[in-house]
Structure 1
Amino acid sequence: MERIDLSTWARRPHYEFFRGFDRPFFDVAARVDVSPVVELTRRSELRLFATILHSVCVAANATDALRLRLVEDGVVRVDQVTPSFTVMSDRGTFNYATAPFTDDLARFSSELGKHADRSRNLPELFLGDDDRLDLVYVTSMPWLDFQSISHAFPGQPLDSAPRIAWGKIVEPEPGRHEATFQLTVHHALADGRDVAIFFEHLNARIQALADHPGS
């Protein structure tokens, strides 16, 4: 973890302006071609959710602003993000789980499944990792092709973790699969350009999966 030197940080005026807002987060949604993900998971044992989540984490780690977090006396940059994600239970409700990120997609998918299974049917919400600075909050809504989504916020002044969501995968034309992805970021730490950079990395990572061996 690295502390940002506010005295030389180009974003300091924006940080000081936005950090006190009642709702300092803003949201951007964009359509993403996920055809390579669908094709890869059809010809391999990789899980669809895990494969998308891995691409999301790769893109978040490659986007500097998405690794910045507010702390009591300033801003820090985490080394890499860890996904905190939702899992459906057998009761029709959801719980939270976290899983360590690794560049190896197959290993990440396997570990993700283990962590999801541990949280899936816990009687209480799993909130044990909420104090971690490296989290990105991730959810998917595979039942609905939404255009945008809003999130519940705890109202904590130092809450600055990005939120990432995606909706139902649709097939607008034969062989092409798309989904809406939404990124929610703290305006003291990120601007529209940073959001665009994230989506550029996300698109590049997903398209690169066309050449993935599938194991």
Structure 2
Amino acid sequence: MPAQQYLDIDNWSRREQYYFFKAYENPFFNICTMLNIKNLLTYCKDNSIPLSHAYFYLSQKAVNEVSEMRYRIHNDKVVIHDHIDAGWVMMKEDGSIRFCYLHYTTEFDNFRAQIEEITRNIEDLPFDSNEQRDDLVYYSVLPWIHFTGLSHAHRMPRNDSVPRIVFGKYKQQEDEVNMPVAVEVHHALMDGFHVAQYLEKLQRFFDGCGDFLV
């Protein structure tokens, strides 16, 4: 588990928002948007890199650079994780799913090696939701759907504060190649501004992918 520290809630500028939204029965909000992956898609094709490997890695880089994406609620405290790993859903040949976990790394080759090892062993992986962990972002991919809206299944009442990010089917639209991205986060911990920071970083990483996928 990554190193962590506790946020000083009493001196936090979002203190009132935190307590206000923390009391909600459903404190999550979801933003769906399109990001242009034209440069990323070209780079991946030219360098024989699976597109999903690239956007997962760049997303994890963006997640870890926005401090609010590393905040989690532990009872009445807010933990700031030193870094965030990735939990993602992968499909087996029979159509069932497995939850897979990737350690955060700044090395793209290391990140790809983790994915490739999981892919080789996916048929033998147990069904492990790892619900005791919150030092994660949950990822899913819907490569069949160019969606414009999305919601998630949750237990009620909700007892987690883990962000959920979903990537969809990309589509050529005029001079862009647009891929839907849905981001669901806990409103007690962040606002639309912080989601925008993540999305802006991710778009910048997509545009300049050659500088990061090395």
TM superposition score normalised by structure 1: 0.91
* Structure 1: gaps spanning 5 or more residues: none
Does the 8 Å contact 2:98/2:125 carry over to 1? no
Aligned-partner residue type, residue 14 of structure 1 = Q
Question: SS at 1:36's partner residue?
Answer: helix
Matched with 1:52 is 55
- Write the mapping of 1:121-200 to structure 2, written as runs, cut at 5 A: 121-122=123-124, 124-127=126-129, 129-155=130-156, 157-173=158-174, 176-200=176-200
CA RMSD of aligned residues (A): 1.7
Q: Distance in 2 between matches of 1:183 and 1:208?
A: 22
Does the 8 Å contact 1:72/1:158 carry over to 2? no
Q: Distance in 2 between matches of 1:41 and 1:166?
A: 17
Structure 1 runs of 4+ aligned residues shifted over 4 Å read: none
Does the 8 Å contact 2:27/2:187 carry over to 1? yes
Matched with 1:39 is 42
Structure 1 residue aligned with 2:103, among 100, 103, 113? 100
Does the 8 Å contact 1:97/1:116 carry over to 2? no
Deviation by residue 1:99-135 (Cα, 9 ceiling, x = unmatched): 11111112211112213443x22475222x3212211
Deviation by residue 1:173-199 (Cα, 9 ceiling, x = unmatched): 36x321011110000001011111111
- Write the mapping of 1:61-100 to structure 2, written as runs, cut at 5 A: 61-100=64-103
Does the 8 Å contact 2:134/2:160 carry over to 1? no
* Structure 2: gaps spanning 5 or more residues: none
Aligned-partner residue type, residue 19 of structure 1 = K
Q: Distance in 2 between matches of 1:141 and 1:62?
A: 25
Paired residues in the alignment total: 211
1:207 maps to 2:207: yes
Matched with 1:111 is 114
Does the 8 Å contact 2:25/2:157 carry over to 1? no
Does the 8 Å contact 1:71/1:158 carry over to 2? no
1:6 maps to 2:9: yes
